[in-house]
Structure 1
Amino acid sequence: MNIFDEPKIDCHNHLFDPARFPYHPDAPYAPSGQEIATLEQFSEVMDTYGVRQALLVGPNSGYHTDNRCLLHALAVGQGRFRGIAVVERDIPIDRLAALKEQGVVGVAFNPALYGIEHMDTAEANFGKLAELGMFAQIQVCEDQLLHLHGLLERNPVRVLVDHCGRPDVSAGVQQAGFQALLKLARSGRASVKLSGMQKFAAAEDLHGQSYAYVHALINAFGPDACVWGSDWPFIRQRSRVDYGPLLKLAERLMPDPHLRRKIMWDTPRRLFGFA
């Protein structure tokens, strides 16, 4: 059985459907053209490549704190999807609980896009997420995680780190930010997405430049705290990215089919409550 036939859950992807769900006026970027990504299009991609379920990530681009497109997909997906939402900094806990009832398992925080200052008011939401057993999904880049050490240490929230922590590949696995991510594994409440290699590695050498980071994460977190994601539909990319080659990349990075099944199926089913 090859990777296209194996059961898989894609744990990082986005929907953009401005015809049905107009973009938020405060969104930092408005995807267009080939970046448009409807539920119907993504469902077809999933069916083509044998992806059975998906964790949909509400994007800052396009929708900001408007989660209608995400919630629509969760409602009509009949259990095929779980979601990560983008919310206001002062969202009441009852609204978070209502999102959880609709299939949202966590909230996205994005200092990689907005800067580390974006996390200054995150603590109140961390407490609410911890109380509800939800995830704080965090996208950092380079050494940003160093500045979040105290915040993550004093809050018992479940943490989900995007895109391998988006390291600086020129600095090696010993760089301080990546080492901080590896140490986060010791908390026992953190997980990491083996995703977004195209965000930090060169398009012509995704395997060569991401291999050391992916395997350091698998060794530190273990397959019970690692999941895989595509980042479909690949917005703001400078060169073309296709879904199939990313699956083949995952197969090369994880040639053991038992390890792949754990990371791409068993672990996300357990973490995110897929039936």
Structure 2
Amino acid sequence: MTHWKSYHLLGESFADTDDAPASLFRWAVERVVDGLTDHDVYSQTVAKAATRQGAMQRAERRMLRLLALDADPVAELMRTAHDASAFQMRWNGFNRMAPLGVETRVSCDAGLRLQRETRAAGLQDEMREQAGAICVSHLMAEDSPLRQRNEEIRPLARHFGELGYANAALRDSVDSLYADPFAELDQCADAVGASRRTLQRAFTQAGLSFRLLRQAVRLTLASHAMCSTSGESITAIAHASGFFDSAHLVRAWKQSCGLTPSQYRSLC
């Protein structure tokens, strides 16, 4: 039985959640590791939001905020599309292969047009259709917050400056993990000049675990490499990004974006 999913940005845009720096950074990390949400959860979130006045306007404002922080492999795939034709190919290919409850196909030939096909049980509704159209239009826009990140290799490190997040130990840990994605907690503590207990406390305060942050760093490194023109093998990318072998990367990649690395790379 297929567990139908939805692209995380849609549901999160309607969610009634905290916008504190710690919460936003935690969202960015978690969505790299698990970038698709259950389709039913998305539907329930939209249904709840629909009872509030001005829900769509608030959702669009939040969507733009989250786009600036979105660092998961799907965001990287769309961000690096060099023109509308490439975006159309990548978006449609992702929608075709990923286990999405609604497949949304894009046509950019004569203005933006969307065609939706429901795979999961449940009714189509106007608000979800509108949310999908808004998401695609912002992903494609040249002035999109997502497209301002030219040649970005360390997106999670950039978030600290943008968010004004004051957790210095966590900030230094992000830098350390980008330098050595194989590092364990003790090695990371030594690199940032903190005790193991101090570093663990910093992660607890952020609502994160060391393993989750390290996995997110590894995935952002891998997605950048896959979308580049270097031509490295999946195995070489896995090792360079901190994964012990390609099998570990495959499992993490499917959890992150619903595709295998090979499927993903066929779209780059």
Higher helix share: 2
Structure number with bigger Rg: 2
Note whether the superposition's TM-score is higher than 0.5. no
TM value normalised by structure 1: 0.29
* Structure with the larger RCO, 1 or 2 (CA within 8 Å, 6+ apart): 2
TM value normalised by structure 2: 0.30
